[in-house]
Amino acid sequence: MSDTLDLTQQLISRPSLTPLDEGCLHIIGQRLQAIGFKLEMIRCGEVDNLWARRGNSGPLICFAGHTDVVPTGPLDLWHSDPFTPTIRDGMLYGRGAADMKASLAAFVTSIEKFVAQYPKHEGSIALLLTSDEEGVAVDGTVRVVEALQKRGEKMDYCIVGEPTAVSKTGDTIKNGRRGSLSGTLTVKGIQGHIAYPHLVKNPIHLAAPAIAELAATEWDRGNEYFPPTSWQISNIHGGTGATNVVPGSVEIEFNFRFSTASTVDGLKDKVHAILDKHGLQYDLLWALSGKPYLTPRGNLVDAISAAIKQVTGIDADLSTTGGTSDGRFIADICPQVIEMGPVNATIHKLNECVAVADLDVLSEVYFLTMENLLIKS
């Protein structure tokens, strides 16, 4: 049995539902410690985090990921127990198989091979792992990054093992992600009987022209790597439930998925200017869950692209699509962050799976990337 397959199965068998780790970090930590890594467990609330490093010099390559998984959904709709790793028709089934226990296993086996082949390699290798990525993500990677910042510890390169492939492992590298900025807008009116419109101010009517303008606004045009910034309403709440009452307020929840062509302050200023232009009385609460980050073509993108080409023959595409990842936190202390992992077609779904043949492919890509950055550079 492939060593990467064996370790992936061990990790899948641990029911590490967010924010539980269920011993995954212990399994990984033991193997890393055996090849000279220094381990630092950072527990925050119910969340377990691991910072493991081998070496003291630069450059520092970090592999980052998470041991936690999303809930299984209805067990009777799984073809096998989600926490009993099962191979059928060349696919390994189990919750977390693709997101992202295959990548974690490949991290470990690639590093073991690299250290065995280059025991006195230049630079350093690290792993940053958390059990709090699929949930609220407030006590996970961000806390480790804060601890590293306080002591001035920085990374040169970071590979996040998120499942990025569209149809075949290696076909897509995420070299950035859009930011996420949410707002809760409450537009105020005057409640009253619907039959006496002169005595009321309908906040839904008042807000409608502003909503139309916000929806039609061009926030930016994007750039080489990012599509234009998007503003979308997710929820609107207004009314008492009665058909004869004009509501006193309406609450509108919206979100920006924004590129590096815009800034947080710039987006906020534009929204307030439009609301003020329409003379609304309103309250607006903002919540930033992630800034955008971008890694242009350079050492890391070139190294992993060459590794993918050597192992698979694929010329990987660069992409910034999708939601947020923990790369948004790591970018604060690392100038080059990318994501690369297995096919993402079944993540968060019933009967999540990963191709068994892709496990060693993934491990070899990570190995060659380290070789390209630490040995051949």
Dump pLDDT digits (tens) for 19-43: 999 999 999 999 999 999 999 999 9
| DSSP conformation class of 272 | H
Residues 355/180, Cβ–Cβ less than 8 Å:
no
Catalytic residue (one of 133, 339, 358, 371): 133
- Give the Cα separation of 229 and 270 in Å (integer): 13
- Give the Cα separation of 61 and 283 in Å (integer): 45
Token pair listed for 192: 């009253």
Q: What is the percentage of the chain residues whose pLDDT exceeds 90?
A: 94
The pLDDT of residue 323 is 78
Catalytic residue (one of 68, 139, 339, 352): 68
Would the pLDDT of 102 be above 90? yes
Q: How distant, in Å, are the alpha carbons of 84, 285, 291, 336 from that of 253?
A: 40, 10, 19, 33
**Is 68 designated active site?**
yes
- Give the Cα separation of 208 and 201 in Å (integer): 13
Q: 288 forms bridges with which residues in the sheet?
A: 181
Helix (H, G, I), strand (E, B) or coil at 146: helix
Report the predicted TM-score, pTM, of the whole model to 2 decimal places.
0.89
Q: What is the CA radius of gyration of the chain?
A: 24
Q: How many residues does the chain have?
A: 377
Identity of the residue numbered 165: A
The pLDDT of residue 377 is 74
| Burial degree of 264 (CB within 10 A; 0-12, 13-18, 19+) | middle
**Is 276 designated active site?**
no
Q: 233 forms bridges with which residues in the sheet?
A: 254
Helix (H, G, I), strand (E, B) or coil at 174: strand
pLDDT (tens digit per residue) in 59-93: 999 999 999 999 999 999 999 999 999 999 999 99
pLDDT (tens digit per residue) in 216-234: 999 999 998 999 999 999 9
